Structure 1
């Protein structure tokens, strides 16, 4: 698989770009320290010449200069470069946590339903059908305030870690069903194969059969689905923050940057350029990486 993947130039380039996103996000505090700025300082208040009388950057192209590489934020005058670094860190961190939980849950329930069968398979199937009936984005928006209210009374200010926890819980609760249904179908066909029957005859326990015989044969769909799910969760998290039910001020976030850009793009289109380009590049490269991983695992692929 690795040999086939290395021959795919598109996959290798996308893998390097995706890895760079994660490295830059993880090192955001270090990069910001070397850069000499942070995403919370209101530079417009200390240097009134950075913003004009309407609150927009006084310099050309959104205030881009040697001091502010990506310009400054309208109204508040915060540095866009560090906002983007920390925003990527927030969005990717939440999405990775959701993806890990979804993969673990979908794998356990999907393999269990497919191998055990009977009533277990029936009831898990009905639960999956019920949860799949919910429109995901609308349900995310509706349930976020409910989950947040469970942890914090409505009259109190919501800490950022509570909102992060709520985002992870809501997306995880409604994100595992597709993988579980896919793995259930895979295991239903695998459990009738000769190697599984041979393991049963030798007296292997169900747990050993699942661990040694079934799981190694469903690694490919798990890995491929993971590469497709993570960018979906990134855009979902950004969408929730954009709609005002995700990460809130002053915590940097991709979706919150889009929310701000949506109100100022007519007068300052440059502010939308950098988070928009970063989001498009990341999602596109991750999807192409998923295609390359799928083709590398498939020996019949002619790509």
Structure 2
């Protein structure tokens, strides 16, 4: 009886809840992952700290380059004076061995370098990889072969060895953070191009892309209107996973002595300098190493969460698996 009183026809259609938009679905899936939300909060906090480094160091009253020789014990080889590496109201995380430079100031300014290099290198990789991948996927057979072989050569190049070789011959006057970001981006775009090419070949076989081609649209118009929106999800996902990898590469290059040069602070450079101080002043190693670990872990978890939120199939598999586990427990 109650069903007979329900409206039918156009009125019933108007009363049906509207489906959530793509953005709302993405946010809903993202909110359903507590680990991703925590990682996103940490990533935002790190970015804010890096951007606000001048303000934070001004509040502390220190800067990353000023030496404080009176805060280190020269008789003991330059070990910081005071407990916990010289931690005080003036130096929140203590001072650097031998030089006495403020460790907090160098840490937050090092975040600017590490995150800035990683984001810039990732941007270069995505732009080049997207252009080459689209060209290979949409181009003719000979163009696809040429671009694919170039991509294979780029992938086969050892990133660290090539970066070491290039960084070693560039004049020191060139801005080092910019140079590191450009070199990483120019050497490591091959995987992005492979992913974009594979998705482009799949997408161009769909009916709406074929209809656009039959309507007389040129290749650029098809790529801009039909392919790029569909490629946004995999490219953003892969870019989010590239950022922690590039942070690690920058730290490794600085650790090897060919990355960012002093006095510009970098987490990898600080870890290198801390090699001989991990027993006498362990905080000098623990703070930059801990910051690097937390950053890479948070970026990785956040990137994986974005992948799950942007991929409905992954989200469906997650729901199905959770439901089966609940049924098994019941």
TM-score by length of 1: 0.92
Match of 1:194 in 2: 207
Unaligned runs of 5+ residues in structure 1 are 153-157
Higher RCO, 1 vs 2 (CA within 8 Å, ≥6 residues apart):
1
**CA shift for structure 1 position 14:** 0.6
Cα deviation digits, residues 136-164 of structure 1 (max 9, x gap): 11221122123x1xxx3xxxxx23x5322
**Would the aligned equivalents of 1:240 and 1:255 in 2 still touch at CA under 8 Å?**
yes
Matched, 1:87 2:100: no
Cα deviation digits, residues 253-296 of structure 1 (max 9, x gap): 11110111112112211111111111101100100001111111
**CA shift for structure 1 position 180:** 0.4
Match of 1:78 in 2: 101
Distance 1:177 1:132 in 2: 5
Moved more, 53-62 or 180-189: 53-62
What SS does structure 1 have at the residue aligned with 2:261?
A: coil
Q: 2:128 pairs with 91, 98, 105, which one?
A: 105
* Residue correspondence of structure 1 range 1-303 to structure 2 within 5 A: 1-44=26-69, 48=70, 50-53=72-75, 54-146=77-169, 148=170, 152=171, 158-159=172-173, 161-300=174-313, 301=315, 302-303=317-318
**Would the aligned equivalents of 2:60 and 2:91 in 1 still touch at CA under 8 Å?**
no
**CA shift for structure 1 position 222:** 0.3
Unaligned runs of 5+ residues in structure 2 are 1-25, 319-330
Distance 1:51 1:250 in 2: 22
Aligned residues: 290
Distance 1:244 1:49 in 2: 26
**CA shift for structure 1 position 169:** 2.4
**Would the aligned equivalents of 1:52 and 1:58 in 2 still touch at CA under 8 Å?**
no
Distance 1:274 1:265 in 2: 11
**CA shift for structure 1 position 224:** 0.6
Cα deviation digits, residues 96-119 of structure 1 (max 9, x gap): 111111111111110111111311
**Would the aligned equivalents of 1:15 and 1:285 in 2 still touch at CA under 8 Å?**
yes
Q: CA RMSD in A?
A: 1.3
**Would the aligned equivalents of 2:123 and 2:185 in 1 still touch at CA under 8 Å?**
no
Specify the structure having the higher radius of gyration (Cα). 2
**CA shift for structure 1 position 236:** 0.6
What SS does structure 2 have at the residue aligned with 1:237?
A: helix
**Would the aligned equivalents of 2:212 and 2:222 in 1 still touch at CA under 8 Å?**
yes
What SS does structure 2 have at the residue aligned with 1:249?
A: coil
